[in-house]
Homo-oligomer: A and B are copies of this chain.
Amino acid sequence: MLSKLSIMPPKPKTEAERQQLRTLIIDAARELFVIRGVEAVTMREIAKRIDYSATSIYLHFADKEAVLRAILDVDMLALATSLKTILQIVDPVERMQALGQGYAEFALSFPNHYRLMFMAERHPCDPEKSSLQQNNAEQDAYFLLKTVVNDVFLAGRFRAELQDVDLIAQTIWAGVHGACSLQIAMACDKWVNWTEIEARLQLMQTVLIRGLLREST
């Protein structure tokens, strides 16, 4: 990261340059947010990281919250993108399991991202305000899940009484999210005699499959 020498102030910037600076801010902020949490990071700190004054951030974002929303928007896309390759798996049930696995890997690899995205008070996913496209499997991880669940449904693999694809998808999500978020929020808790997270995820997957699918012949 180059430092601006002494005084290097203002030339009108192209749209590309403006976008570049936005990204610079977003990346600096994310790095700090992810390490120390949103509340603990100051605007001045973010600014120092990229050699700008704190107030400059306000030329590109309305407030701290807006910076956070922009970060989450980017990360939601990253999640959807990282899960997309799973669509190549042919067998629908295997595909569904791999999706859960991939989701959990994301959650546990980037616990603080995950916390911001799915556990914190504020989150960005209002289709109105987001730059992401809803119902596009490349950008919308929930749609991806729903698609994958729907394929299993169309293959007639779910139990007969399960007819609501949203309900099934949300239950699978809840199961995997539960295992991951409990790990992220509580794993350092000395109170509980925690088993290995891998074992918990494995059992959750097994339980979901056995609870949702027809008895295999």
Contact = CB atoms under 8 A, between A and B. Distances in A.
Contacts of A37: 121
Interface residues of A, number: 52
A27 to B, nearest CB: 23
How many copies of this protein are present in the complex? 2
Interface string A113-152: 0010011110101111010001000001010000000000
A130 B190 CA distance: 11
A186 B178 CA distance: 13
Is chain A's binding surface mostly helix, strand, loop or mixed?
Answer: helix
A117 to B, nearest CB: 10
B195 A164 contact: yes
Interface in A176-217: 176-179, 181-182, 185-186, 189-195, 199-200, 203-204, 206-212
